[in-house]
Structure 1
Amino acid sequence: TYYEENNLHAFLLEQIKDYPTLLAELHAFLPYIDNWATCDSLRPKCVKKHLPEFLREIQTWLSSERIYTIRFGLNMLLSFYLDDAFEPEYLLWAAQVQSEEYYVQMMQAWYFATALAKQWDSTIGYLQTDRLNLWVHNKTIQKAIESRRVTDQHKQYLRTLKR
C-alpha cells in the first residue's frame, strides 16, 4: 500500500540467502513495484552466487508487460553482468526491449551508458549502427558523456554519434 512499505520489503528481500526462496519472493513482489526508486534499490546479494541460472529469470522479466518488472530485469543486467560475467549477447537482450515507457527507456539508456564505460568495444556498435530507438540512443550518449568513467576521447567520439 505504501511507498515505504515497498522499500522495506525490497530491503528485506535483498537479505535472503536461499536462492530458490529469493526467486519465489521476487516473483511475488515485482508486480507491486510502482516506482523507479523501489525498483532500482533492489539488488539481491545471493544472486552473485547464481549468475548463470539468474539469466533465465532476467529474460522472463525483460519480456514482461509490467514497466518496473522490465526495468528490474535491465537493472539486474547492469548490476551483475557488465563485469566478469559479461557476454555480448546481453547487450542484444537490452536492445530488444521495446517500450515507449519513460522508466524503461531511461534504464535502457543507463544500461548502455554503463556498458560503454565497462565494455566499450562490444557496446559502441549499438550506437554506430542505430540499433537503439532515437530517445534511448541520444540519452545513452548524454549519460555516457556525463560519466567520469568514460574517457575524454570516447566522449568526443560519442558527440559525433548524436542523432
Structure 2
Amino acid sequence: MHNKIRKQLFEQIDTDYQKFSSALIPTNENILGVRMPALRKLAKGIAKGDWRTYLQTAHDEYFEEVMLQGLVIGYVKADVEELLPYVAKFVPKIDNWSVCDSFCSGLKMTKQHKERVWSFLQPYVVSENEYELRFGIVMLLIYYTEPDYIDRVLGLLNRVQHEGYYVKMAVAWALSNCFVKLPDPTLRYLAGKNSLDVFTYNKALQKIIESTRVDQETKKVLRSMKRR
C-alpha cells in the first residue's frame, strides 16, 4: 500500500509548486510539490478503504506523506473514541503550520463531540512543544469560538506562555477570530488585565483591524489600545 501511494504522489509532482511551498513552509520533511486538491482526492479514497492499515504503516519521509495522513484521519467515518488515538499519534508528527492547520480544519467530528474533544485538547493547550500547543490553539479557534465556550477559550489563551513564533501567531489569530464572532467578551478581555506579551497583543489587534467584518469606529478604538 505504501509504495502504491508514494507512486501516486510522485505522479502528481508540480516542480513550480515545490519551489513555492519550500520557500513558504518550514519543515523537516522533503517537499515534493503536490497540490492540496490532489492530496485531498487521494486522502478521500484511502479513507473509504483500509485506512487503519494505511495509518499504521504510512511513511513520514515527505511532507506530503505526513499531510496525507492528517487528511485521511479527518475524512474517516468512525467512532470518536477510535479516532482520537489516531489524532494523538499524529500530533507529534506536526512540525509546521501548514500540516497543523490543515489537520485541524479536517477534524470536523469535533462539531458532534464538543465536550469529548475539549477534554482531549487540554494537555495540548498547556504543552511546551510549539506545534502541539499550536494544534491545541487552532482547534480552539476553529471549533470553540462560540458563546458556550468563549470564556473558557479566552482563559486558556491567556495562560499561553511560549516564545515560539507559530504559537504567538496562533494566539493572535484565535483572538481575532473570537473578536469577529463575539466582540463584547473579547474586547473586555483585550482591554482588561490580560497576560499577553506585547507582540501577541499587538498582532491580535492588527488582525482584528485588518478584518473586513469589523466597523471603522471599532477599529479606531482598537488602534488606540495598541501597546508601545
Task: Report TM bin, short chain.
Answer: over 0.9
Which deviates further from its counterpart, 58-67 or 22-31? Answer: 58-67
The two structures have a TM-score, normalised by structure 2, of 0.68
Q: Which residue does the alignment assign to 2:189? A: 126
Please tell me whether residue 78 in structure 1 is matched to residue 138 in structure 2.
no
CA contact (8 A) 1:31 1:66 kept: no
SS in 1 for 2:122: helix
The number of aligned residues is 163
CA distance in 2, matches of 1:37, 1:45: 17
SS in 2 for 1:34: coil
* Residue 83 of structure 1: how far off its partner (Å): 2.8
Please tell me whether residue 104 in structure 1 is matched to residue 167 in structure 2.
yes
Q: Deviations over 1:24-43 (max 9, x none)?
A: 00110100100000000112
Identity level (%): 37
Q: Which amino acid aligns with 2:213?
A: R
Q: Which residue does the alignment assign to 1:148? A: 212
CA distance in 1, matches of 2:173, 2:84: 25
Q: Which amino acid aligns with 2:95?
A: D
Q: Which amino acid aligns with 1:7?
A: M
Q: Which residue does the alignment assign to 2:55? A: none
Q: Structure 1: which 5+ residue stretches go unaligned?
A: none
Which deviates further from its counterpart, 84-93 or 97-106? Answer: 84-93
* Residue 85 of structure 1: how far off its partner (Å): 4.3
Please tell me whether residue 11 in structure 1 is matched to residue 75 in structure 2.
no
Which deviates further from its counterpart, 72-81 or 118-127? Answer: 118-127
CA distance in 2, matches of 1:149, 1:3: 34
CA distance in 2, matches of 1:5, 1:66: 22
Q: Which residue does the alignment assign to 2:117? A: 54
Which deviates further from its counterpart, 93-102 or 11-20? Answer: 11-20
Q: Which has the higher contact order (CA 8 A, sep 6+)?
A: 1
CA distance in 2, matches of 1:55, 1:154: 31
Indicate the RMSD between aligned Cα atoms, in angstroms.
1.3
CA distance in 1, matches of 2:127, 2:176: 23
CA distance in 2, matches of 1:56, 1:109: 23
